[in-house]
Structure 1
């Protein structure tokens, strides 16, 4: 089996996970049949229907665009099981009760398509035990496939084979999940809770234990266990609420029931207060009450001392805050361990016990240390996994500190560190990562799909990434190439902070394009996310305060020249977009000959948020789009197409996915959308090469573009009048929106006038500079720079 062709997927179970797995398959243009029990009354598919309706309201959204829901069909077990014969992959995602799963397998097995892959999305049940419920002939195509919640956004999927799973089937399934669904795969052993949950849940249990031991408050602990130590903002107790306190208790219960000989078994039980919350139905976010609850606008937290909720707050002890700011991780751990304050002791303790647990269980739960570290990054959002954190802080020094605490009874378990810990200087090296089971370094997977990932996620101590050959660079841009991919396709990377576009970036882009036209066959604009956050507001704000409006006019003119150089370059320029492409970043992407976009690209012309309009060619590009679309209609009227663009720009609408970016006009239907961002550069280089080989040439813009003119501006103003009278926009919002309408409609000219591309650029530049002269726009820029948030004035 060299390739897995999946034309249709069935998902069994329309609960939170099943429904969202179905949604993500639909995002990837894979049609899905979503099954659940038949409803007791009304529409037999009512349970699935309610699940689909609920997903439309979720934020973050499971669907990458609203129309994706059309690719999910509702079905039920009573009347539709025969439709399983249409499906190449069946994912079971019902409740975590093995008897329920086995009962369902017996019902669906007769209807499976020959050769179909069947996978259970269990978070910790034995895959071999589940496999026993399948017909013998189907067991070679059965495995575990553990998605993390929410499936669209969380990269990790754990693949768990059974003793009977065909290795080739697992290989092609891994490749499909990696590229088609954009997932990061860990091959897990069939042990309780697999890799990420095994370590992650133990980490939570360690936090629970040391929170109680040291008498810390829940909100205090969340201040300590969030971004300050490289963990998500939701930290520990907020994360428990998001996951669901009942779900957490279930996973802990699985460890308690299935790991009786674990040296930490005494801690594998939910505390009494957690069981009491579950008993009251306070399950966390899904019931709007758990460890935290919201009262009006105030977030409250459970206080065990008060036996009631109080307003959340808390603070980090100043000494501890200072220690956490130390750049050297060895110094951080040494000072935390030595400091008497409970917060310091808490932090050292939770790290120590996770290091201890992972070292003892590495051979049991994972193929190698890299898999543990990446599983915690991808599944729990840790900045570094436990082993790389340990190694970065000094492997032997930390090992001695841990062993000393074990010896003196300060650790959660008395089991000693395994001998291999003291025989090594770390677990990650350029040659690979340590496998305790094999007592050897293991290299990365050699599956062909990973050749598409030129810059995969690396762990501390692993071989560094290939930086390529620099062809030219300045303070804002680097022009380089990877000779191992295509030496004649250049890569231009913006190197400024947050990839903001200032003078050096514009100069660099112009120079890079000029050099590419002479020496290269194509150019790719790529760098790790974000793509670009727009113009350098700091430079703009300083020029405004100095009253240098002629300088600003020149700056905008240079921005326009940069965009036009991208558009009219004599070699194909491909924009590889990932993360935020806002304002000027969006305009750079819009002017490229082609876009290769990661699904999770957030694209928009957001200038209205700081009292401005797009002036790097974004308004002009929408005007050109309107002209082109109008030419295909009977009346040739451009305004219906301008109206949509006007609303998008005036409302500073941001596409929440690459699919939405196409729908909003920031990208084209012909552009490439990749689900795995690590494949972006590989695909963009090959797209540029293909365009060069197919005799690509820059588009010639129609010299007589029909614009909406005064009538178009007036019609846009009618919408604004209604919004202003209703109190939805301020007077300055009105002015900014009218400027956007003026640029989109080609200025104060007769409706239906024909103008050139440069005319529209001149109009949008003039409107932009006039807005910069206003006090309220200057206030908005200053407020954004100071707070990072828009000002409504």
Structure 2
């Protein structure tokens, strides 16, 4: 087919999933028409209007910026189906009832354009069966497109063809979903619950079975099945509450109804305790009670034996926790298999039965082991998929142990492991991942869109990632920076990466940045500041704390001056410096990004100047940058008064506000409207290199240092202080909060100068640096720094 252009999307169904799919399309600058039934009374679109309004109240937020709700139009099936003619992609997202879906298809089909794509967001109904309810002419443009909840944050979309689906259309839709919506795609077979839910729900059922068998508490199991084994913090039973116990029950029932020949079919039923909770309306988070419920600040958990709630403990046998935290994967599994502790037996059993299930069903449900592993990573948030985990644990030894348990009747099913398991030593290798159906290793998809992902999510055992060509580096593997290129992409655009943990900015990074930028100016055409998330968590506070403890404030003043020198080197380098930002860019990391010639941000970028949280103010040029923004905006305002443009910046810095998306980063002034927002984080480096190349080819040149910045001065400081007085009197801020916030106001307003005075950029840098060092000398700021280092949490003192 020709190039796929999607100018407008329609979503049929304004429930939880439909509304949030619409929200994510709006995040991607795609206008949406959201449909549902007409209201029984009042305005006909009231159902959808209420759903759109609810998007701004949910946490986590489906909208990357609340204003994006304006890109979603409300419509209903009775009076507005004509609006489907304007839509290039129509996504059905109503309840999982075959007859309801078919009735809706009959209504909508006459209004679809001959070239429009029609897709169902079903989580498990047969795509072939759904397609049978469509006119013949539409079937080639129909497929399943299964988003995971919440659609903004969960990477996975399963793409499922119907028998007549046009393969070229499917390729084009995959490319659009990847780049435009930022999704990670698994092509699923049309089997019940597809890939991720088929494996994920079985994993939950195995956990439930072994919880009961070993008499463990729900909270104990959640403590075991969360981060300790590479799963999300919500673990198993908290996740069930978040998803909704009724939804979980429906998926379990679907497996029971549609998989009668599955060797594990006897386990595809709701446990008695789950049925009891649903019967009394305790459906989880949405009803404020489920497996867990809150009583004030206390978290209670259901006790299966009594049927009542008790305080949640989450106890773990320390020996089990120690083994999980200290042993390598192979050692862990050997220890779990040999241990007599119930918690260890539980963990071995849930992994054994998961591996067993995946091996038996690989040929049926997935094209290769890669699809199962990536589906579980992207759809359920697992650090490693089941086959990766098995391979890391020692493929042959674990396979023998599983078969021994099957033979002894200890496994959940009697089905033997497939013969291929014993013929292989791994499933992921440099040549590809194993396909049980074709008995070969299959390489990754080769669609052109994936050329944009220079570093796709790597699986254990695959060919190692291309590390590029190192031009220069300093420090060791845990400090300093590395300047390198990808000659296969662009040999003259350098990539500058931090090597420290969480990409903290310490002395080695500062020194390395200055040297690397100087080298880039003479040897390269541009520089991209990039590394995997987080972008940077700010200054190395441990080094700051040690200098404070030694009373070396003169040394600290010099360090801050050098930090500012790096920011200005980024801004005024003789080649464009592009910041490629993903994840957290806090404090100094935010300041470096603000000084770049251009920013390319992943949508999920969390950017902020958070120094107030440790009793400090931005002093790496962040205060200066906001003062410059106010100056520039004031030049186009009546009266050219800068203070109105300082107010938001003051509140942002004083409250240590962090943007919750790249779009919010633009709103708050951490990024600019001209910056690029990339929906798929794995495309970030590719786009940033292309942007740096384009800037160089366009004759980019650095801005001149501004020597005449109009600042708010004393009157601006006094006005900010009035706000602080009211907050202090109301008990909202402490005395030290007041001191820190006044310092922030002073830096933003250019220091104690006349209002509307003109000063140079260096003047403002000197002001913010002096205030920063003075705050470092205070006991309360030093206490805040020490507390954050010790606990990871801010201190209010």
Give TM class, smaller chain: over 0.9
| Alignment of structure 1 residues 13-32 onto 2, 5 Å | 13-32=13-32
- Cα distance in 1 for residues equivalent to 2:387 and 2:303: 34
Residue 760 of structure 2 corresponds to which residue in structure 1? 756
Residue 155 of structure 2 corresponds to which residue in structure 1? 155
Per-residue deviation at 1:232? 0.5
Per-residue deviation at 1:714? 0.7
- Cα distance in 1 for residues equivalent to 2:463 and 2:588: 35
- Cα distance in 2 for residues equivalent to 1:429 and 1:45: 53
Residue 663 of structure 2 corresponds to which residue in structure 1? 659
Residue 622 of structure 1 corresponds to which residue in structure 2? 626
Per-residue deviation at 1:51? 1.1
Contact kept, 8 Å, 2:373 with 2:384, in 1: the verdict is: yes
| SS of the residue 1:411 aligns to | coil
- Cα distance in 2 for residues equivalent to 1:497 and 1:193: 39
Match of 1:524 among 516, 528, 531: 528
Matched, 1:391 2:395: no
Residue 477 of structure 1 corresponds to which residue in structure 2? 481
Match of 1:777 among 781, 791, 797: 781
| Alignment of structure 1 residues 134-173 onto 2, 5 Å | 134-173=134-173
- Cα distance in 1 for residues equivalent to 2:431 and 2:236: 34
Residue 688 of structure 2 corresponds to which residue in structure 1? 684
Contact kept, 8 Å, 2:537 with 2:587, in 1: the verdict is: yes
- Cα distance in 1 for residues equivalent to 2:638 and 2:332: 70
Per-residue deviation at 1:328? 2.1
Runs of 4+ with deviation above 3 angstroms? none
| SS of the residue 1:316 aligns to | coil
| SS of the residue 2:653 aligns to | helix
Contact kept, 8 Å, 2:161 with 2:189, in 1: the verdict is: yes
| SS of the residue 1:393 aligns to | helix
Residue 186 of structure 2 corresponds to which residue in structure 1? 186
Per-residue deviation at 1:276? 0.9
Match of 1:675 among 658, 672, 679: 679
| Alignment of structure 1 residues 567-586 onto 2, 5 Å | 567-586=571-590
Matched, 1:271 2:275: no
- Cα distance in 1 for residues equivalent to 2:134 and 2:702: 57
- Cα distance in 1 for residues equivalent to 2:440 and 2:138: 34
- Cα distance in 2 for residues equivalent to 1:339 and 1:454: 43
Per-residue deviation at 1:319? 2.4
- Cα distance in 1 for residues equivalent to 2:548 and 2:437: 64
Per-residue deviation at 1:647? 0.9
- Cα distance in 1 for residues equivalent to 2:482 and 2:125: 49
Residue 341 of structure 1 corresponds to which residue in structure 2? 341
Residue 449 of structure 2 corresponds to which residue in structure 1? 449
| SS of the residue 2:639 aligns to | coil
- Cα distance in 2 for residues equivalent to 1:447 and 1:765: 51
- Cα distance in 2 for residues equivalent to 1:621 and 1:273: 58
| SS of the residue 2:545 aligns to | helix
Residue 121 of structure 2 corresponds to which residue in structure 1? 121
Match of 1:713 among 710, 717, 728: 717
| SS of the residue 2:491 aligns to | coil
Per-residue deviation at 1:53? 1.7
1:48-79 CA-partner distances (Å, limit 9, x unpaired)? 11111222111110000010000001111111
Per-residue deviation at 1:644? 1.2
Residue 415 of structure 1 corresponds to which residue in structure 2? 415
| SS of the residue 1:560 aligns to | helix
| SS of the residue 2:282 aligns to | coil
- Cα distance in 2 for residues equivalent to 1:107 and 1:508: 64
1:487-539 CA-partner distances (Å, limit 9, x unpaired)? 11100001111111111110000000000001001000000000000111111
1:380-435 CA-partner distances (Å, limit 9, x unpaired)? 01110000100111111110000110011010000100001111111111000000
- Cα distance in 2 for residues equivalent to 1:352 and 1:579: 35
| Alignment of structure 1 residues 572-611 onto 2, 5 Å | 572-611=576-615
- Cα distance in 1 for residues equivalent to 2:78 and 2:737: 56
1:684-714 CA-partner distances (Å, limit 9, x unpaired)? 0110011011110001233211111111111
Per-residue deviation at 1:774? 0.8
1:554-584 CA-partner distances (Å, limit 9, x unpaired)? 0100000000000000000000000000000
1:461-510 CA-partner distances (Å, limit 9, x unpaired)? 11110001111111211111110010111000011111111111100000
Residue 255 of structure 2 corresponds to which residue in structure 1? 255
- Cα distance in 1 for residues equivalent to 2:331 and 2:655: 49
Aligned residues: 793
Residue 71 of structure 1 corresponds to which residue in structure 2? 71
Per-residue deviation at 1:730? 1.0
Residue 378 of structure 2 corresponds to which residue in structure 1? 378
Per-residue deviation at 1:752? 1.1
Residue 33 of structure 2 corresponds to which residue in structure 1? 33
| SS of the residue 2:70 aligns to | helix
Unaligned 5+ residue runs, structure 1? Answer: none
Matched, 1:636 2:640: yes
- Cα distance in 1 for residues equivalent to 2:461 and 2:541: 38
Matched, 1:743 2:743: no
Residue 45 of structure 1 corresponds to which residue in structure 2? 45
Bigger drift between 272-281 and 328-337 goes to 328-337
- Cα distance in 1 for residues equivalent to 2:780 and 2:396: 59
Residue 195 of structure 1 corresponds to which residue in structure 2? 195
| SS of the residue 1:38 aligns to | coil
| SS of the residue 1:635 aligns to | helix
- Cα distance in 1 for residues equivalent to 2:256 and 2:266: 8
Match of 1:541 among 536, 542, 545: 545
Match of 2:790 among 757, 771, 786: 786
Unaligned 5+ residue runs, structure 2? Answer: none
Per-residue deviation at 1:185? 0.1
Per-residue deviation at 1:326? 3.5
| Alignment of structure 1 residues 488-527 onto 2, 5 Å | 488-527=492-531
Contact kept, 8 Å, 2:578 with 2:598, in 1: the verdict is: yes
Residue 433 of structure 1 corresponds to which residue in structure 2? 433
- Cα distance in 2 for residues equivalent to 1:605 and 1:429: 43
Residue 229 of structure 2 corresponds to which residue in structure 1? 229
Contact kept, 8 Å, 2:591 with 2:622, in 1: the verdict is: yes
- Cα distance in 2 for residues equivalent to 1:338 and 1:627: 69
Per-residue deviation at 1:645? 0.8
Matched, 1:61 2:65: no
| SS of the residue 2:705 aligns to | coil
- Cα distance in 2 for residues equivalent to 1:332 and 1:28: 43
- Cα distance in 2 for residues equivalent to 1:687 and 1:179: 16
Per-residue deviation at 1:324? 1.2
Residue 311 of structure 1 corresponds to which residue in structure 2? 311
Bigger drift between 700-709 and 554-563 goes to 700-709
Residue 645 of structure 1 corresponds to which residue in structure 2? 649
| SS of the residue 1:654 aligns to | coil
- Cα distance in 1 for residues equivalent to 2:339 and 2:239: 28
- Cα distance in 2 for residues equivalent to 1:648 and 1:334: 52
Residue 300 of structure 2 corresponds to which residue in structure 1? 300
Residue 285 of structure 2 corresponds to which residue in structure 1? 285
Give the TM-score, by structure 1 length.
0.99
Matched, 1:108 2:108: yes
- Cα distance in 2 for residues equivalent to 1:341 and 1:647: 53
| SS of the residue 1:150 aligns to | coil
Contact kept, 8 Å, 2:222 with 2:314, in 1: the verdict is: no
1:156-211 CA-partner distances (Å, limit 9, x unpaired)? 00000011000000000000000000000000000000000000000000001111
- Cα distance in 2 for residues equivalent to 1:188 and 1:428: 19
| Alignment of structure 1 residues 449-468 onto 2, 5 Å | 449-468=449-468
Residue 769 of structure 2 corresponds to which residue in structure 1? 765
The CA RMSD measured in Å over matched residues stands at 0.7
